Amino acid sequence: MPYGSNILQANATWPRKLLGRVCDRFLACGAFCIAISFVHAQSSVVPGIRIDTYSPSDNRWSVTFTVLPSALPQPYSTINGGDVEAMQQIDASYAAVLDKGSMLRDKQGEFQFVLYLNRASDFQQEVYAYKVIENSYGSFNDLQGAINVRLASTGAVLGTVTVPLHCSDGPPNALVPFGGSVPSTAPDQKINMGSEADFSITLSNHMSLGAALGTPSAEVSCGGCLRQPISVALSRASLAPGDEAEVEFKLNPNLARAMHAAGSPNYLTLTVPVTAAQGGAQRGQQITIPIHFSLPRTLLALCIVFGTLVGGAIRAFMKFCQIKQWPWNEFLLGLIYGGLTWSLAYALFSGTGAQIQLAGVHLDPTQLFQAGLLCVLAAAGPPVLKQLDNSALKGLAGGK
């Protein structure tokens, strides 16, 4: 029965072939699903990032960044409509934005911000939030800095973001006085001892960030030479980069103590609390203002006249050492010498700031006692000056 045998044989092998086909298709579908799952899993892996250190060429200060890992994605609506700044993309496969509103200083004094990042194809659906901590080293002026964002796995630069870089101690030279010789010193100010003095200085913001200014205060080096409190007022409480603010002073000199302090250098120390924008630390910015006391003109004129008269009298007496036959010509000559010497000294001092030295003594022609002494010495003439020089030489020689 050859025919029947074939039928029986076919019936016996049919289930085996069908089972083989089903298994092949199942394996093929399984492999396809595994591949799809692998691709999806690869696309959903959190992209690790790191941020380059920011440092100037002289390496006196630097800012490093600690990036805390992000675990779960957030919907794009988390950042939609916020105050954000887009990353300048270098690798088009990734996109990121910087959340400006997240910039703050934490309880430990570290500055931080949040960066949202994901692959460009998925960015409009979900993003990963990375908390970035600034670790600043050294003292520097707070500024805006462009930093590189890199993919942690390969080190490739994804793009750059511009963030505020803050010094942990606050900006050291944010405010610079206009016309000063050095960044923290304002121009000299002349103050009349006999009346209330008003003056102002101009401060400019030299940061690339905005600055909030606190309540200013001032102290004087000569203590009681100015009546307290010293009145200080700012024309504005906040400055954009490059903006200027006027600081108004009202000083009321104490005549007796001001006259005593006039012979030595004096200065005001202005302190202005400054806080840089976007989370900066507050720092008390100090500005030094040299002050120069000037006498009331009437009192100075009386002192000059009195000094000239005394000097002329000394000159006449030392010329003949007697009073009976008073040498009026020498006396008048002394008056002329005293007046001319003071006038010349005042012109040099006011015009060039030159120091006036007579008989080894520095004399300021605008100060009460020094102006009087200058007139006495100039009117008295060579005998007195020679005697002073001899006394100085004896002192240098040990008193012999």
DSSP string, 207-265: SSS-EEE---EEEETTGGGBPSSPEEEES-SEE-TT-EEEEEEEE-B-HHHHHHHTTS-
Residue whose structure tokens are 């609506």: 77
- Of 195, 205, 270, nearest to 227 (Cα)? 195
* Residues 36-92: tens digit of each pLDDT: 443 443 445 678 899 999 988 778 899 999 999 887 899 998 887 778 899 999 999
* Residues 203-236: tens digit of each pLDDT: 999 999 999 999 999 999 988 889 888 999 999 9
Structural element, H or E, at residue 346: helix 328-352
Q: Within 13 Å of residue 274, how many CA atoms lie on the same side as its CB?
A: 32
* Residues 232-249: tens digit of each pLDDT: 999 999 999 999 999 999
Confidence band of 294 (pLDDT split at 50, 70, 90):
confident
* Residues 269-286: tens digit of each pLDDT: 999 999 999 889 999 999
Give dist(CA 67, CA 222) in Å, integer. Answer: 52
Which residues neighbour 97 within 8 Å (Cβ) at sequence distance 6 or greater? 79, 84, 85, 86, 87, 115, 116
Is a pLDDT exceeding 80 seen at residue 34?
A: no
Confidence band of 385 (pLDDT split at 50, 70, 90):
low
Give dist(CA 364, CA 228) in Å, integer. Answer: 27
The amino acid that residue 273 corresponds to is P
Number of H helices, E strands in the chain: 6, 22
The pLDDT, as a whole number, for residue 339 is: 83
The pLDDT, as a whole number, for residue 104 is: 87
* Residues 138-178: tens digit of each pLDDT: 999 999 999 999 999 899 999 999 999 999 999 998 999 98
The pLDDT, as a whole number, for residue 126 is: 93
The pLDDT, as a whole number, for residue 391 is: 56
Domain ranges for the chain, please list them.
1-42, 49-165, 175-294, 297-396
Is a pLDDT exceeding 90 seen at residue 4?
A: no
The pLDDT, as a whole number, for residue 23 is: 54
| pLDDT more than 90, % of the chain | 41
The pLDDT, as a whole number, for residue 296 is: 72
Confidence band of 1 (pLDDT split at 50, 70, 90):
very low
Q: State whether CATH 2.60.40.10 applies to domain 175-294.
A: yes
Contact assessment for residue 76 and residue 117, using Cβ atoms and an 8 Å cutoff? no
More reliable by pLDDT, 182 or 88: 88
More reliable by pLDDT, 261 or 324: 261
Structural element, H or E, at residue 326: none
Is a pLDDT exceeding 50 seen at residue 392?
A: no
The pLDDT, as a whole number, for residue 128 is: 94
> What is the end-to-end Cα distance of the chain in Å, rounded?
159
Tokens of 166: 């803050």
Which residues neighbour 287 within 8 Å (Cβ) at sequence distance 6 or greater? 175, 177, 184, 185, 186, 201, 203, 269, 270, 271, 272
The predicted model gives 306-317 an average pLDDT of 83
Confidence band of 358 (pLDDT split at 50, 70, 90):
low
Is a pLDDT exceeding 60 seen at residue 15?
A: no
Confidence band of 333 (pLDDT split at 50, 70, 90):
confident
